[in-house]
Amino acid sequence: MGGFLAQILNGLQYGLLLFLISSGLTLIFGVMGVINLAHGSLFMIGAYLAYVVAGLTGQFWLALPAAVVGGLVFGAVLERGLFRKFRQREHLDQVLLTFALILLFEEARAALIDNQFHAVPVPPALDFSVPVIGGFAYSAYRLAVLAICLAVAGGMVAFVERTRIGASIRAAAENSEMVDLLGLDARLIHTLVFASGTALAMLAGALAAPLQSVYPGMGDGFLILSFIVVVIGGLGSIAGAFWAALLVGMIDTLGKVYLPEMAGIAVCGMMALVLLWRPSGLFSRG
Amino acid sequence: MTRLSTKGHRWLGLGAALLASMPLWAAPYYMQLASSALIAAMFALSLQLLTGGAGLVSLAHAGFFGLGAYTVYLLGGGSSVFVSVPAAMLLSGVAATAIGRLALRTRGFYFLMTTLAFGQMLFFLFHDTSLGGGADGVFIARPGLIWAVTKSARPTVFLLLNLATLSLMYFSLWKLMGTMFGQALAGIRVNEDRMRAMGHDVQGLKLAAFIVSGALAGLAGHMAALTDAFVSPELLGWHRSAEALLMILLGGLGALHGPILGAFALTLARELGQSITERQRLVEGVVILAAVLLLRRGLAGWRQ
Amino acid sequence: MRRRAVPAVLEARGLSRRFGGLVAVADMTFTLRPKLAHAVIGPNGAGKSTLIDLLSGALRPDEGTIHLNGEDVTALPDWRRARAGIGRSFQRANLFSTLTAYENVRLAAQSTTPGWRLIGAVCDDAGTWDLALSALEQTGLEAVAEHPAGSLSHGQRRLLEIAVVLAALPDVLLFDEPLAGLGPEETAPVVKLLRKLASTHTMLLVEHDMDVVFAIAGQVTVMVDGRMLESGTPDAIRASAAVRDAYLGHRS
């Protein structure tokens, strides 16, 4: 029973990490109309950043603000330098350009660090187990990840739902011409959305580093899963991404434990069912 | 899609003749290299029906290629090509029917994402389960042909076999693009909504293209398994689909023979890159940037 | 009363469509009778284009039914309605600009070829060829048949837009502002063609040019805010005080 509860919590926490990645992805699709296959690589970069920061300073916690700030800067640079120009291109060009980014990011990782697996130690302050119910105890770090993800998700929803800029982001996610109509600087909105999406993906990578160690190509699996989340949730929908991420995270985690051969297939099967039932996603307005 | 004139076909024929004469003058290594370029060309050509033909960008295509390859393994060594070719095309075609029916319910970004996910589902099927002999891949003992091929004759035999298969595939697609079906696909690529308003069954036409293209990718995968006598889940990975798209773009999106040029150019670039640097991803990344940013019309010079 | 005896080719009953809170088309009921041009006029935003989208199947109605030759086609998607005999043109030229005029028309002509026969059929089989050529002849475009649609003059593109509709041999023609954006000289050949088609086809014509409407149409419906304000013969509409107040008055 305790084991099952632990898996449920693992699934929840995995789903929330997925939400951090896919919420940025869905907004970038919706607002900018750009497909970014390299979004999983941003997750990988965040994880390696945590590995490097923790290794150099001995302070894992420094990696989290580093990932957020670094992500905002890196994302803004990528948007201004590259993605702004990709927007007008055909899908085929976007696919190949962002595929090239994956290759180049991986190559840079190999050149700067190496091609090995590296464990990132759990921060000592949280390296213990917390009794949850009865005799069942759960990793304190994992609980902290849960809490941080929930706080970030809550903050993001509040920002998107409550603020003026958030309102225009929502409008733009439904109809990219809306930004112009609202009289806001569309280019600023694009940079903001892309930079936040990058920061979220890198933060997720940094948080995940102690849980699963860092390794080449680690962003690939997350890329596929976050695509599935976006398809299930509906393009440009934050609420859709949230519930779909929890669903996918739960199925993937429980699947890997109880039906290890079928986990990957089960998640795709989920997506097939959603496509049959509601081709434009569970939370789309269309 | 633009089809080659008689003059263009003379050039393609000349290239084919050059490849066919390789056993007379080339070392086995280069014949094997030519074989892998021919297989890559078949794979990219099969995708060209979708991408250049109907304007669909699919990332599931490597899945069909891999299914065709694994058919050879699943049938067991020693089975005749007269069994394994139809079996590979049938299996890939059936998978393409199922995936196409679902993925074609979506358009644009959604189509990209769903094909990527379904392609990976096929990858997981062979990577995570024991169905295909495991995650590291397996060798195929005595890959089937009609007759037994000695080890020393393999490079020659498979070079000629792959050349013949590619020629047949190219000729069939060339014919197909000249039919009403090919014209209708071209119409869908340019203006899907108008095609629908005219009374064309756009969904049906796209699905038909998806199935034919998947079955042909299965044929390419089948030839790959025979040639290399080895299959691994990597064959189904989505990076391979992206590479096929790269070959199409490199060769020329608007030309039926573009993917053939692209496949040979990419194989050549990799081979040259390998002699300069060990950083293969860097080479490929730079080739992509060059293809997308500089060489927009492709080697064939056609985009529309 | 006399018209009642003639069976309707197309019949719309209670058609309505809303976008969010906005009512685009409300409770439109009318019939299209054979060999009669039925013009729909009204100010911008009256819902005329939405009405054409509802009839052609590009949009689904929230309420109401559409019958074509007595059969209910409300549930059919656009391409099935096109095959059933509803042909439409677009307000903004919506052609295959990289293909030649002939190829544009041929695509429309081959849409009647069923499914798998497409793969076997060469592009220029006799039936398709005849249909395509006849559509080009009717619109006077034979001379530019081999020119890419994108290179044609604006007036020729409007004619090609109509040729594409004719090539599929529809029972009902839905024309959405076929004169949009044309100068006086370019208008004349299109009006001449419309007049000719009005005598041989069943037609619904959305048009702003009142002279053309009153010259061609046998029946005129006035739409305002998605509703039918008035419907009748051109003379009756011209005489209607309500129409003058609501619509015609604004224009002069």
Distance of CA B76 to the CA centre of its chain: 23
Q: What is the pLDDT of residue C1?
A: 43
- Tell how strand C202-206 and strand A136-139 pair up: unpaired
Q: Do B179 and C121 touch (CB under 8 A)?
A: yes
Question: Which partners does chain A have (≥3 C-beta pairs < 8 Å)?
Answer: B
Task: Report the residue from B116, B281, B291 with minimal CB separation from A103.
Answer: B281
Chain C residues close to B200, C-beta within 8 Å? 79, 107, 111
Please give the average pLDDT of every successive group of 10 residues along chain C, which has 252 residues. 65 90 88 91 86 92 93 92 92 84 90 68 75 91 91 92 92 91 87 92 90 90 89 87 70 46
Compute the nearest-CA separation of B275 from chain A (Å).
Answer: 17
Count of positions (residues) in chain B? 304
Which of B177, B193, B200 best tests the C interface by mutation, with the highest count of C CBs <10 A?
Answer: B200
Give the mean pLDDT of A66-83. Answer: 94
Which of A22, A26, A112, A265 best tests the B interface by mutation, with the highest count of B CBs <10 A?
Answer: A265
Q: What is the pLDDT of residue B9?
A: 84
How do residues B129-169 score in pLDDT, each as one tens digit?
Answer: 888 888 888 888 766 676 667 778 889 999 999 999 999 99
How do residues A92-136 score in pLDDT, each as one tens digit?
Answer: 899 999 999 999 999 999 999 888 898 888 888 888 888 877 677
Q: What is the pLDDT of residue C209?
A: 85
Report yes or no: B41 and B166 within 8 Å, Cβ to Cβ. Answer: yes
Please name the residues in contact with B190: beta carbons below 8 A apart, sequence gap of 6 or more.
B55, C96, C97, C98, C99
Q: How many CB atoms lie within 10 A of CB C238?
A: 14
Q: Do B183 and C56 touch (CB under 8 A)?
A: no
Is C200 touching B (CB cutoff 8 A)? no
Distance (Å, whole) CA B250 – CA B252? 6
Compute the nearest-CA separation of C81 from chain B (Å).
Answer: 7
Q: What is the pLDDT of residue A286?
A: 46
Task: Report the residue from A103, A263, A268 with minimal CB separation from B117.
Answer: A268
Window 15-54 of C: residues touching B by CB (8 A cutoff) are none
Compute the nearest-CA separation of A104 from chain B (Å).
Answer: 6
Between residues B268 and A236, the one the model is more confident about: B268
Please name the residues in contact with B106: beta carbons below 8 A apart, sequence gap of 6 or more.
A231, A275, A279, A280, B114
Token pair 């896919």 is at which residue? A22
Q: Do B198 and C120 touch (CB under 8 A)?
A: no
Domain ranges of chain C: 1-85+171-252, 96-169
Is C171 touching B (CB cutoff 8 A)? no
Between residues C50 and B76, the one the model is more confident about: C50
Compute the nearest-CA separation of A57 from chain B (Å).
Answer: 30
Q: What is the pLDDT of residue C185?
A: 86
How do residues B181-227 score in pLDDT, each as one tens digit?
Answer: 888 998 999 889 899 999 999 999 999 999 999 999 999 999 999 99
Q: Do B284 and A103 touch (CB under 8 A)?
A: yes
Q: Do C79 and B202 touch (CB under 8 A)?
A: yes
Window 161-220 of A: residues touching B by CB (8 A cutoff) are none
Chain C residues close to B178, C-beta within 8 Å? 122-123
Compute the nearest-CA separation of C218 from chain B (Å).
Answer: 26
The residues of B whose Cβ lies within 8 A of any Cβ of C are 176, 178-184, 186-187, 190-191, 193-202, 204-205, 208, 304
Enter the tokens of residue A262: 């079928």
Chain A residues close to B122, C-beta within 8 Å? none
Distance (Å, whole) CA C234 – CA B20? 76
Share of residues in chain A with pLDDT > 70 (%)? 94
Task: Report the residue from C94, C112, C119 with minimal CB separation from B181.
Answer: C119
Tell me which chain C residue has its CA closest to the CA of residue B194.
Answer: C94
Task: Report the residue from B102, B110, B129 with minimal CB separation from A235.
Answer: B110
Residues facing residue C41 across a β-bridge: C222
Compute the nearest-CA separation of C195 from chain B (Å).
Answer: 23
Chain B residues close to A261, C-beta within 8 Å? 128-130
Q: Closest by alpha carbon to A267, among A283, A253, A277, A278?
A: A253
Q: What is the pLDDT of residue C11?
A: 93
Share of residues in chain B with pLDDT > 90 (%)? 58
Enter the tokens of residue C209: 């040019």
How do residues B12-29 score in pLDDT, each as one tens digit?
Answer: 999 999 999 999 999 999
Fold of domain C1-85+171-252 = Rossmann fold (3.40.50)
Query: Residue A181 — pLDDT band, cuts 50, 70, 90?
Result: low
Q: Do B114 and A231 touch (CB under 8 A)?
A: yes
Burial class (CB in 10 A: 0-12, 13-18, 19+), B178: middle
Is C76 touching B (CB cutoff 8 A)? no
Window 120-139 of C: residues touching B by CB (8 A cutoff) are 120-123, 125, 128
Q: What is the pLDDT of residue B146?
A: 64
Encode A144-182: b = buried (16+ Cβ within 10 Å), e = exposed: bbbebbeebbeebeeebeeeeebebbbbbbeebebbeee
Q: What is the pLDDT of residue A74?
A: 97
How do residues B247-282 score in pLDDT, each as one tens digit?
Answer: 999 888 888 999 999 999 999 999 998 888 888 888
Query: Residue B41 — pLDDT band, cuts 50, 70, 90?
Result: very high
End-to-end CA distance of chain B: 7
Is B122 touching A (CB cutoff 8 A)? no
pTM listed for this prediction = 0.90
- ipTM score assigned to the predicted complex: 0.90
Chain A residues close to B116, C-beta within 8 Å? 224, 227
